[in-house]
Structure 1
């Protein structure tokens, strides 16, 4: 599921970056499992009278959303759509490991900015987690999804705000390490990149769903603040996320911030995030649920 601050189903990643992205997506779902359970539970409440039988996961990444929904809706089948063959391979591998029957999941490789794939519908529920903002023309995608849904079907859009990466370093921790404001500078630099590369990040998806013809039934913001005791995977989640930040900001970070980030990521060093017990996890997600009339 998302929260990934990155792209489900978009190109532009080399092999190493794609592997790191996949790790972030899986760790995101593990650390934020309570958020994902709450969202899927909310969707179960909205569909209590007619639980979905066919689900579409748009921009599935490694399939964390696909599996969470199939575990919530025991009688459903799902189609996972992504541009990356490697991500879809991971979806398939997860299915058996999670105890989900293989015939409940199919994968479709597609570039959703090109020709819309045929044969996706009709479906009862579409899950689009952190995927719509990466599309060149999300309004076109919403029109396609409206046509793909059965009458009365739901589109669930889960998106991050304009600062998509989670925060792991408290003000007290940054000050103790001599780099106050480190994460703020990191995310400001990322925001500068996103403003051009991902212009739809932070959009008002409720308004866009309405304009596309959906009746918006739910808009809910989740402000997530985790502190000790944290899930066991938190250190690995912070490490993988900070590695991605380091890699993409290598040419714009100042020397002192680069050194501080290197210290956090040095697995032999005393400041490595895997050794810390004073991390936090602070992020936010917003869920919009639109129904096809």
Structure 2
């Protein structure tokens, strides 16, 4: 998927799942000191960075990502929202040596740690980046959202998810990591673990159709040679028409861990 579509998909996730995002941000904001220094690890298109900038209007935020194009997108959005003076970007591969990022009061890592080759090493570095008493917020997901109602389409969607889970395991992505245990091993105290089972039904946000289309298109991109040709053709047909459907739902699971450096 092109960078522009991936950035749009990440932005749409924040739009369609705004109630979930708002709940987490309000929760984290209530635990953050005044004038915090925040680091967003694996910032992507900047949905977390910019939401934190709105939630914490006196915060300085450092957005870290390996992808320069994503950081360009983030900087443009920060400027448009009038928060560019408080948002700074750093291009860095979190699996390599980290540039100086601290001291931080809050580190935010949303759906980014599972991509790392050695997440345990990243957690140790995050611990060193935080001030004593600082908060580390880790958010992870189990898969792409599901959209199709009961029936043949939903059955195909489930088969796609099963194959994608196999592919992620083959690639070594840490989708099923015990993050609470890893955080403790890195020296953190885990203060909370909260699972969000998201189930949205009509009336849905206006952007849901586009969100479903891009999600299914991204799923389809990784399935060549892994599903029978009739399934791939059916998925293409569903993806092509999903944006105009009125029977969609949005089902997703996210888990948030709050951990503190003692």
- Are 2:79 and 1:96 equivalent residues in the alignment? yes
Quote how far apart the aligned CAs of 1:44 are.
1.6
Secondary structure in structure 1 of the residue aligned to 2:62:
strand
Question: Are positions 1:55 and 2:27 aligned together?
Answer: no
Matched, 1:38 2:23: yes
- RMSD of aligned residue pairs (Cα, Å): 1.2
**What do residues 200-235 of structure 1 show as CA deviations (whole Å, max 9, x unaligned)?**
112111111111111111110000000100000000
1:257–1:95 CA distance, 2 compared to 1 (3 A): same
Cα shift at 1:180: 5.5
Does the 8 Å contact 2:103/2:129 carry over to 1?
yes
What is the deviation of 1:105? 0.8
SS of residue paired to 2:70? helix
State whether residues 52 and 125 of structure 1, in contact with CA within 8 Å, keep that contact through their aligned partners in structure 2: no
* Secondary structure, aligned partner of 1:250: coil
What is the rounded CA distance, in whole Å, between the counterparts of 1:135 and 1:80 in structure 2?
17
TM-score in terms of structure 2 length: 0.96
Determine helix, strand or coil for the equivalent of 2:203: coil
- Find the counterpart in structure 2 of residue 191 from structure 1: 165
Post-superposition CA distance 1:83-137 (Å, at most 9, x none):
000000011000122232x2201100011111122x2000100000011111111
SS at the partner of 2:109? Answer: strand
1:276 Cα offset (Å)? 0.4
List gaps (5 residues or longer) in structure 1. 1-15, 267-271
Partners of 1:180 and 1:96 lie apart in 2 by 40
SS in 2 for 1:28: helix
Counting matched residue pairs gives 262
Q: Could you list the per-position Cα deviations for residues 38-57 of structure 1 after superposition, in whole angstroms to 9, with x for gaps in the alignment?
A: 0011112223xx23511000
Structure-2 separation of matches of 1:185 and 1:57: 34
Separation (CA, whole Å) in 2 of partners of 1:193 and 1:248: 8
In the aligned structure 2, how far is the partner of 1:274 from the partner of 1:147?
45
Select 1:27's aligned residue among 12, 30, 35.
12
Measured in 2, the distance between the counterparts of 1:124 and 1:28 equals: 26
| Whole-angstrom distance in 1 between the partners of 2:173 and 2:236 | 30
Point out where structure 2 has 5 or more consecutive residues left out of the alignment: none
* Residue pair 1:160, 1:202 contacting (<8 A) in 2 also: no
Are 2:133 and 1:148 equivalent residues in the alignment? no
Cα 1:91/1:120, change in 2 over 3 Å: same
1:111 to 93, 99, 117: 93
Cα distance between partner residues in 2 of 1:258 and 1:291: 45
1:218-258 Cα deviation digits (max 9, x unpaired)? 11000000010000000000000111111111222212211
Using structure 1 for the length normalisation, give the TM-score: 0.87
